[in-house]
Amino acid sequence: MNDYKKMNYYEVLEVPVNASFFEIRHAYKEALSVYGEDSLSTYSLFSEAERETLLKKIEEAFQTLMDEKKRSDYNNQLVKNGEADPDDLFRDYNKNSIPIFLAHNAVDKNSFFKKVKKKVGESSIQKLSREILETELIAGQDLKKLRQAIGIELEDIFEVARISISILKAIENDDFQNLPSLIYLRNFLKLYAEILHLDPEKVADSYIINISLLQK
């Protein structure tokens, strides 16, 4: 009824304009569970075509708002169209404290660290960590694999270490063109490694050697 085609991405996901990445991912998952094909809560409410349009819009919203660059362009557009108040938008959306790990009951960093610690204690994770540390060269995908095995989202790392998502992505993809300068990179790698309970120095050294080899 109310025309969702006219809704902006924030309205579609029902998040405030200064929502954090956590909130956005959470809202996205929520939206999928409501508008998905097998959702009881919208059973028979939409035609197939309508549902498809809705899901597409939700996807668009998510892809745009999760990407710093796209989001900032989009925000500028909203301000230009008078749809958003610049004061709200530019109030740093990163600084809000937000649920970590997306668990409803885990709302602070402590519980995040506790959760990670517990998970890292599991034998399968320990095995994976050992394998990574034993290799000469550590690639981005090794870190990514471990991160995902532990169940950490990029937004979690962003939240506790303040490393931007795009840099984290560049690190994980060995995308040296988008990596920051060496001194920053070292720092970021150490922070990242610490979260994964890996030896920070070892990770930073091995990663940087690997990258320099790739660059050639």
Placement of tokens 């006219």 in the chain: 6
29 binds other proteins (CB under 8 A): no
**Min dist. Cβ of residue 115 to other proteins (A):** 22
| Residue 40 touches other proteins, criterion: CB under 8 A | yes
Specify whether the CB–CB gap between 35 and 47 falls below 8 A: no
Minimum CB distance to other proteins smaller for 42 or for 96: 42
* Planar angle of CA 66, 16, 38, nearest 5 degrees: 65
Length of the chain: 216
**Tokens at residue 101, please?**
């790990």
Q: Is 4 in the site for other proteins (CB under 8 A)?
A: yes
Kindly give the residue spans of alpha helices, DSSP state H, lying in the chain: 9-13, 21-35, 48-65, 68-80, 86-90, 109-120, 123-134, 140-150, 154-161, 165-172, 182-195, 200-215
Question: Cα–Cα distance between 61 and 51 in angstroms, integer?
Answer: 15
Q: Is 105 in the site for other proteins (CB under 8 A)?
A: no
> Applying CB under 8 A, which part among 20-28, 43-51, 127-135, 192-200 lies near other proteins?
43-51
Is 8 a binding residue for other proteins by CB under 8 A? The answer is no
| C-alpha 12, offset from chain centre | 19
Tell the smallest beta-carbon distance from residue 50 to other proteins (Å): 7
Binding flag, residue 46, other proteins (CB under 8 A): yes
- Residue 55 as a binder of other proteins (CB under 8 A): the answer is no
For position 14 contacting other proteins by CB under 8 A, the verdict is yes
- Among residues 6, 13, 20, 34, the one that binds other proteins under rule CB under 8 A: 34
Cβ distance to other proteins smaller for residue 4 or 113: 4
69 is a site residue for other proteins (CB under 8 A)? no
Tokens of 54: 């809705």
Structure tokens at 146: 């471990």
Q: Note the residues at the interface with other proteins (CB under 8 A).
A: 1-4, 14, 33-34, 39-47, 50
